[in-house]
Amino acid sequence: MTASADLSPTLQLACDLIRRPSVTPVDADCQKLMMQRLGDAGFALEPMRIEDVDNFWAHHGSQDGPVLCFAGHTDVVPTGPVQNWQIAPYEAVIDTDGMLHGRGAADMKGSLAAMLVAAEKFVGDYPNHKGAVTFLITSDEEGPAHHGTKAVVERLKARNERLDWCIVGEPSSTTLVGDVVKNGRRGSLGATLTVRGKQGHVAYPHLAANPIHLAAPALAELAAEQWDEGNAFFPPTSFQISNLNSGTGATNVIPGELTAVFNFRFSTESTVEGLKQRVTTLLDKHGLDWHVDWALSGLPFLTEPGALLDAVAASIKQVTGRDTQASTSGGTSDGRFIATLGTQVVELGPVNATIHQVNERILASDLDVLTDIYYQTLVKLLA
């Protein structure tokens, strides 16, 4: 392990954050540490504890000019069996190959450290910068996400706070830091479908109605449906059944009910109401006795080429020499809530190869590269 004194400011902070076991929604004083640092740098601080979730909003500068927000989360997913880790998940060790090990190294305590150090340097170098540098940090991104970024955004919206640009520190990179940035995400619409039949004896099917047999043609049609063709920014909308459950536990009983859990990851070519209506029409066509409980996790959002994406791409090129690729692939992020403010949103963070895995790790030096990219982006937009 590299001695702490030999580490860069970003790596020292990253290790300090990783050593705090902040499994959703527990923050383990990560935000206290961040707020202390930001307060020392001249940021105005506003803690926002909502229900059991710690959040904070920090602000430096004036809303008379453009506002750039760094957004992220201090919470991490559970470690899984600790005995399966080569290095204990909360020790924050840098090995002889230069890899920083620990839960949250990639997702996303490394990004938080890079953002904070970049912001400290920027407001120190440019105390009279244009506009404002802000932070929106939550401890509820990996969990239900009801009382985290979503709730903070609702408060900001209610008091007419403006966010022009937002960089979310999600681990966007694929092979090398900065090779991919996310400039949008697909929407996520989940559903639990219940198809009702009539329970009976398998030897007397004419006295029963098997919901598995009844639902199978409809489910097959749903799975084969072409929902849209996507567009220049998004792949076609996808439909996936993730769980199918029926039966009483006995082999000689026709069940009375079937439950299917499915999900749409949808592009801007489809709407929530449009997808619901098409599902309704298809189920009715098959004459089923059915009910659906819908759960919308997020709408699709897109940041087209413009000031933010241009500044991020130029900074990546300046620091690393490589061209970045903008992508909308992957799951959802808290960017979906921030985009509702009319904000340009880009996700930029470390390599995502080991996120949520046992032995999560990243190349330690990538965090210093990421710090430089964030700093140069600030200079291009606000200096």
Q: How many Å apart are CA 325 and CA 313, to the nearest integer?
A: 8
DSSP-based helix, strand, coil % in the chain, nearest 5: 35, 25, 40
Helices (H) and strands (E) in the chain, counts: 9, 19
Token pair for 18: 């990783």
Token pair for 256: 């009375």
Distance from chain centroid for Cα 216? 34
Q: Write down the catalytic residue from 54, 120, 141, 161.
A: 141
Residue ranges of alpha helices (H) inside 263-346 are 272-285, 307-320, 335-338
Q: Write down the catalytic residue from 27, 54, 75, 368.
A: 75
CA-based nearest residue to 237, from 263, 217, 276, 273: 263
**Which H, E and C letters describe 213-271, residue by residue?**
HHHHHHHHHHHHCCCCCCCCCCCCCEEEEEEEEECCCCCCEECCEEEEEEEEEECCCCC
| Catalytic residue status for 141 | yes
Q: How many Å apart are CA 157 and CA 47, to the nearest integer?
A: 17
Catalytic center residues: 75, 141
